[in-house]
Amino acid sequence: MSLPKKLFIKTYGCQMNVYDSERMSEALGGEGYVPTDRPEEADMILLNTCHIREKAAEKVYSELGRMRGLKEARPDLKIGVAGCVAQAEGEEIMRRQPLVDLVVGPQSYHRLPQMEARLRAGERALDTDFPEEDKFAHLGKRPKAARGPTAFLTVQEGCDKFCAFCVVPYTRGAEVSRPAARIIAEARELVERGVREITLLGQNVNAYHGHEGGLAGLIGALARIDGLERLRYTTSHPNDMDDALIAAHGEEAKLMPYLHLPVQSGSDRVLKAMNRKHTAEGYLRLIERIRAARPDILLSGDFIVGFPGETEEDFEATMALVRSVRYGQCYSFKYSTRPGTPAAERAQVGEAEKDNRLQRLQALLTQQQRALQDEMVGRDVSVLFERSGREPGQMVGKSDHLHSVHVAGEGIARGDLRRVRITASGTNSLAGTLL
């Protein structure tokens, strides 16, 4: 009997790439590959890339350069690049890095078995098409092996918004929603494997239309699965928060009180230049409606500072919006150009000014995050325990509001969902005791 081949996947970027890496591993599992966390013992290495961060392509080339020694030591090692950088730079990667055997885009990885067969025949393989077929329909059933208590589940891909700073419409394509029946079947399989919490994923997840009730209808259908205790979703666009989805936050007990709803800027002038198609005031009124439906909801967001043309007045409008909302968590970045996007051709804000604004924004966001964390002390929350902590006898899990909570005590197992009283607030986590 031949030994199994070993597959190492390095995942960059968002939760959707984490999910895609799982499905790539499963697709190649049918070809005799088993996962390894040691690249030096792998028979195939895949870099599942993200194009959102600054200089994403150059970072991939640097990583490939570091693998040259592995390839020289083992000429039969196969190296592949997947994900959004692969989609954007496919032929250039092949030309620039001869050590790369395989390049596959995020919409084509269901074809990995056929591509791997070409590698065995001594060919190189490139596939960055946007195929007409549903890739998920061509992926096999997920294996029955036990897994951790939380999982990601992609329900929607692509984006039709064409924000001026974003490459997603070019690397992931137009908005496509998976059929609800297939999502529900996959969710049931995950629950059978031990999953108790599922996060629904999409580049623009609340634009999901594969169920007659939209995302709210899908959430309601998933909530009826026995053994599935918690639901979350990310990432959303303000323009697609419909009445039914807002209502679901107040009506569906399994939908957790946490919402990531990026606004990007508090300046209407900048929002228009970004092609966001919403206003700061409209966003604030939307937040009011969501909080009316679920008063204890914790809000998260994204911000870009130093977008081309942003003035100090525009930046102060962003700071004012942040003070008004009070975020429990946020992601903030300096604007950086993405080749091929409209904003890349505009006059840029100076780096020193970007740095200054980012530091001021992050100081305010950190202050808000810590204040809301501190307010949790004395409250009772539900915690889904996921792993052992640093201290003996300690377990760590996530609260309903996605706070990391560590608890010391006997009788806590991975996958337990327990009530906990919060006793202390740390820098990035909470401490509690079992009730």
Q: Which residues are annotated as a binding site for [4Fe-4S] cluster?
A: 14, 50, 84, 159, 163, 166
- Determine whether 419 is exposed, middle or buried from the number of CB atoms within 10 Å of its CB (0-12, 13-18, 19+): exposed
Q: Which two tokens stand for residue 11?
A: 């995942």
Q: Which two tokens stand for residue 237?
A: 């666009």
The pair phi, psi for residue 276, each rounded to 5°, is -80, -25
Residues near 39 by beta carbon (within 8 Å), at least 6 away in sequence: 8, 10, 45, 67, 70
Q: Which residue has the tokens 């530091």?
A: 359
- 109-129 burial: b if 16+ Cβ within 10 Å, else e: bbbbeebbeebeeeeebbbbe
Binding-site residues from annotation = 14, 50, 84, 159, 163, 166
Q: Round to whole Å and give the CA distance between 223 and 180.
A: 13
CA 419 to chain centre: 27
3-state secondary structure (DSSP) of residue 356: helix
Task: Give the alpha-carbon dihedral of 126, 130, 134, 137, to 10 degrees.
Answer: 10
Q: Round to whole Å and give the CA distance between 31 and 118.
A: 13
Cis peptide before 128, with omega less than 30 degrees from 0?
no
Fill in the amino acid letter for 362: Q
The helix (run of H) or strand (run of E) holding residue 316 is: helix 312-325
The helix (run of H) or strand (run of E) holding residue 183 is: helix 180-192
Task: Looking at 343-394, list the stretches that DSSP marks H as alpha helix, in order from N- to C-terminal side.
Answer: 351-374
Fill in the amino acid letter for 160: D
